[in-house]
């Protein structure tokens, strides 16, 4: 089947017009209206869940006593998330779809149930900024003392294809066995571009490099390279883990493969394969959500339910009507806030000044060559557990979904 057949015959005209509008557009591409067959029923706030769909891998580093092996397990977990973050949608739907743009205050809340060793892992995702758009998230496993929090925005542009720069970072925190001090890993986010756009069957390809920098003194660097014109496989990467004091030329471990499929981990000194991962052999753990009728009005699935249902039906007039109602309500909310001289209160996250951030995180950011770029994400965002306790409705136990926080 040729790639062109991904575009329905009756939609080829609108797809061609859409491509032309992208090529001539100067601004945020997310504001463009895409043809119906390329629209997703999923909001960007749900993408935060891709970080922890393998809960056992997510908590595994917290059980390792050796700091180098612990850093390697963090790297393995991160690499395992790439398939879910950047490939699972195109596999499921046949191509990458344009997600719903979240509104300010939008929430996505759920949990993964694990066995006796893994325990419960809880997700809180919130749209913390609308202009510029940014999503913040916190994923916590109380049993193993592991937390991931972060925030991100996307800046899309066009140069022969859609280029996406991801702005923000993630922080993975654990308490090593036998220690009272927390260990932190700062994770930078990969840039990406969209392949096969002209055929109407777009998929994500990662590019350039990212880093994971640890407070324990270890650094992982991941280099991404897609399929070339004449050779290579798509979604290819190579990574190395080294001690910061010894430098990148003296790696302890190396990793190679395809982030969309499988990869192998080698001891850099012996060249022996010591571990690996195959996404096809490791199904994800389902995320449990509260029933739709028990969700807050601001939770993604409930807020966008009418829009999603009509996208599936292909009724774009109804989609436009339901979207307009949400957007009109949001504009009215912003107008009232401006008149009254107040700002929308985030339920779970705080905006902080760069100078007020943890000195250790600032040090890790410098080692990772990470500029905070707070003006492009509406600020630097940090999770506030006390806000979760006081949120209305009580989100530490909404719809039977516990957040692992004290009542």
pLDDT in tens, 139-197: 999 999 999 999 999 888 777 777 889 999 999 999 999 999 999 999 999 999 887 66
- Which CATH number among 2.40.160.120, 1.10.1270.20, 3.40.50.300, 3.40.50.720 corresponds to the domain 3-281? 2.40.160.120
The share of the chain scoring above pLDDT 70, in percent, equals 82
Taking the C-alpha atoms of residue 64 and residue 255, their distance in angstroms, rounded to an integer, is 19
Look at residue 234 in the predicted model and tell me its pLDDT.
86
If 0-12 CB within 10 Å is exposed, 13-18 middle and 19+ buried, where does residue 188 land?
buried
Taking the C-alpha atoms of residue 55 and residue 64, their distance in angstroms, rounded to an integer, is 16
Neighbours of 336 (CB within 10 A): 10
Tens-digit pLDDT profile for residues 226-263: 765 445 788 999 999 999 999 999 999 999 999 999 99
Q: Do 99 and 40 touch, CB atoms closer than 8 A?
A: yes
User: What are residue 211's DSSP bridge partners?
Assistant: 221
**24-38, 194-208, 214-228, 350-364: which has the highest mean pLDDT?**
214-228
Taking the C-alpha atoms of residue 244 and residue 135, their distance in angstroms, rounded to an integer, is 31
Look at residue 135 in the predicted model and tell me its pLDDT.
97
With a CB cutoff of 8 Å and minimum separation 6, the contacts of 383 are: 124, 136, 138, 147, 149, 348, 349
Residue 392 pLDDT more than 80?
A: no
Residue 45 pLDDT more than 90?
A: yes
Tens-digit pLDDT profile for residues 74-109: 999 999 999 999 988 877 766 678 889 999 999 999
Q: Do 74 and 131 touch, CB atoms closer than 8 A?
A: no
Tens-digit pLDDT profile for residues 108-149: 999 999 999 999 999 999 999 998 999 999 999 999 999 999
What confidence category does residue 39 fall into, taking pLDDT thresholds of 50, 70 and 90? confident
Residue 50 pLDDT more than 70?
A: yes
Residues 361, 146, 86, 11, CA torsion sign: negative
Look at residue 202 in the predicted model and tell me its pLDDT.
74
Look at residue 226 in the predicted model and tell me its pLDDT.
76
Look at residue 124 in the predicted model and tell me its pLDDT.
96
Write out the E strands in 233-387. 236-243, 251-258, 262-267, 273-278, 349-352, 380-383
What confidence category does residue 17 fall into, taking pLDDT thresholds of 50, 70 and 90? low
Residue 400 pLDDT more than 50?
A: no
Taking the C-alpha atoms of residue 118 and residue 47, their distance in angstroms, rounded to an integer, is 22
Q: Taking the domains of the chain in order of start, what are their residue ranges? A: 3-281, 313-341
Look at residue 40 in the predicted model and tell me its pLDDT.
87
Taking the C-alpha atoms of residue 303 and residue 104, their distance in angstroms, rounded to an integer, is 12
If 0-12 CB within 10 Å is exposed, 13-18 middle and 19+ buried, where does residue 119 land?
middle
What confidence category does residue 304 fall into, taking pLDDT thresholds of 50, 70 and 90? very high
Q: Do 125 and 107 touch, CB atoms closer than 8 A?
A: yes
Residue 2 pLDDT more than 90?
A: no
Is 360 or 30 the better-scoring residue by pLDDT?
360
Q: Do 80 and 53 touch, CB atoms closer than 8 A?
A: no
Is 36 or 331 the better-scoring residue by pLDDT?
331
State the pairing for strand pair 262-267/251-258. Answer: antiparallel
Q: Do 251 and 239 touch, CB atoms closer than 8 A?
A: no
Alpha helices (H) in 204-344, listed in sequence order: 300-303, 305-313, 316-340
Look at residue 1 in the predicted model and tell me its pLDDT.
33
What confidence category does residue 203 fall into, taking pLDDT thresholds of 50, 70 and 90? confident
With a CB cutoff of 8 Å and minimum separation 6, the contacts of 16 are: none
Reduced to 3 states (helix: H, G, I; strand: E, B; else coil), residue 146 is strand
The residue count of the chain comes to 407
User: What are residue 208's DSSP bridge partners?
Assistant: 224
Q: Is the peptide bond before 256 cis (omega within 30 degrees of 0)?
A: no
């Amino acid at each position: 089947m040729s790639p062109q057949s991904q575009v329905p015959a009756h939609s080829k005209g609108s797809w061609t017009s859409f491509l032309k509008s992208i090529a001539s557009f100067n601004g945020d591409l997310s504001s463009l209206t895409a043809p119906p067959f390329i629209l997703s029923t999923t909001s960007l706030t749900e993408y935060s869940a891709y970080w922890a769909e393998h809960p056992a891998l997510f908590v595994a580093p917290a059980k390792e006593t050796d700091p180098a092996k612990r850093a390697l397990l963090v790297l393995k977990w991160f690499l395992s998330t790439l398939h879910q973050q950047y490939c699972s949608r195109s596999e499921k739907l046949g191509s990458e779809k344009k997600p719903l743009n979240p509104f300010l205050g939008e929430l996505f809340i759920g949990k993964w149930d694990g066995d006796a060793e893994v325990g419960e892992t809880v997700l809180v995702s919130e749209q913390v900024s609308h202009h510029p758009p940014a999503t913040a998230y916190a994923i916590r496993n109380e049993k193993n003392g592991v937390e991931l929090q972060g925030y991100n925005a996307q800046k899309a542009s066009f140069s022969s294809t859609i280029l996406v720069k991801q702005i923000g970072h993630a922080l993975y925190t654990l308490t090593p066995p036998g220690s009272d001090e927390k260990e932190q890993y700062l994770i930078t986010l990969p840039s990406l571009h969209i392949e096969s756009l002209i055929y109407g069957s777009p998929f994500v390809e990662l590019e350039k490099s990212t880093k994971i920098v640890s407070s324990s003194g270890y650094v992982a660097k991941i280099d991404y390279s897609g399929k070339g014109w004449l050779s290579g496989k798509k979604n290819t990467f190579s990574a190395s883990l080294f001690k910061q004091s010894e430098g990148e030329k003296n790696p302890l471990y190396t990793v190679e493969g395809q982030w969309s499929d499988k990869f192998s981990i080698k001891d850099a000194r012996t060249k022996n394969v010591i571990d690996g991962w195959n996404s096809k052999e490791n199904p994800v753990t389902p995320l449990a959500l509260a029933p739709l009728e028990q969700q807050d009005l601001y939770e993604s699935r409930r807020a966008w339910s009418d829009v999603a249902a009509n996208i599936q039906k292909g009724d774009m007039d109804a989609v436009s009507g339901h979207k307009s109602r949400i957007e009109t309500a949001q504009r009215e909310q912003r107008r009232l806030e401006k008149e009254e001289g107040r700002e929308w209160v985030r339920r779970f996250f705080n905006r902080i000044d760069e100078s007020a951030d943890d000195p250790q995180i600032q040090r890790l950011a410098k080692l990772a060559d990470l500029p905070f770029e707070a003006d492009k994400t509406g600020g630097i965002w940090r999770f506030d557990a006390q806000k979760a306790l006081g949120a209305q409705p009580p989100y530490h136990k909404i719809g039977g979904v516990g957040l692992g926080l004290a009542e």
